[in-house]
Chain A
Amino acid sequence: MAHFLFFLLAIICIASVLGMIISKDQAYNALFLIVAFVCMGGLFALLEAPFIAAVQIIIYAGAIMILFIFVIMMINLRKGVGPEKKRWTVYFAVVIAFVLIAELVLTVKGTLEPISSAAVEKLGNPTDLGRLLFTKYLYPFEITSILIIAALVGAIVLVKKRDKE
């Protein structure tokens, strides 16, 4: 059952990312990406991280993608992106992709032997996660809130229209 779910989610995820690469329309790209992120949330849940799965779906598929769709709506290009001029980046992308695959596979190969995992009780229990977040990781947590405030204020200041004097 878990295998079936894994392969279903993986195939949908890869297919929607491929769809994003092929599609020309930015709005469709954003919708494809929402599907990919929801599938990724399902994969996180398969990895015994239910809280992270919920966060992924709420923040990524919800908040961030809504932000993307708002910006696409505000930019509102009538005639799409238009034809591409430079084709060399495509070949460059293929080369980069092969180098990256080789590198990552070489890195990961050492870990491919099955690790003897002891039978664990509920790993991603949100209660334990919350306790860890407010004891061991209290300072990073608080600093993150400052970062978010700074990003929020920065984004507002950047986009605000200045009145012409």
Chain B
Amino acid sequence: MIPLSYFLILSIILFVLGAIAFFVKRDLITQFMAIEIMFSAANLAILAFAKAATSLDGQIIVFFVITVAAAEAAVGLAIILLIFRQKKTIKSEDIKLMKG
């Protein structure tokens, strides 16, 4: 029987690593992967709490999160592909059109 705190600590570590990866990395695709890591870390925490509360609803929430993440990944990657076609770069520091 693994204590709940182990899972929560692992979830914190993974979430923070995902945030670090998002800021350290410079290309859009890897930053997008970092977001997926943070999704999964949050899912881990939800499942740990769901087990502690002995409830099935947490698993349903995680199921919906995974489904929506799949949809989000498809649209996000399409947008990255469009940016690459127009600007010939996927480095996030080269995309500063909003700055004027």
Residues of A within 8 A of B (CB): 2-3, 6, 10, 13-14, 17-18, 20-21, 26, 29-30, 33, 36-37, 40, 43-44, 46-49, 51-52, 55-56, 59-60, 63-64, 67-68, 71-72, 74-75, 77, 81-82, 84-86, 89-90, 92-94, 96-97, 100-101, 104-105, 108, 111-112, 114-115, 117-118, 120, 123-124, 128-129, 132-133, 137, 140, 144, 147-148, 150-152, 154-156, 158-159
Contacts and interface: CB of A to CB of B under 8 A. Distances in A.
Contacts of A148: 67, 70-71
Contacts of B70: 59, 63-64, 148
Contacts of A118: 54
A153 to B, nearest CB: 10
Given A17-B37, A104-B15, A148-B67, A112 B8 contact: yes
Given A68-B77, A129-B56, A33 B19 contact: no
A53 to B, nearest CB: 9
7 contacts: A10-B10, A36-B37, A47-B48, A52-B62, A81-B91, A100-B16, A158-B81
A147 B69 CA distance: 11
A74 B29 CA distance: 12
Contacts of A17: 14, 17-18, 21, 37
A4 to B, nearest CB: 10
Contact of A104 (B12, B18, B20, B59): B12
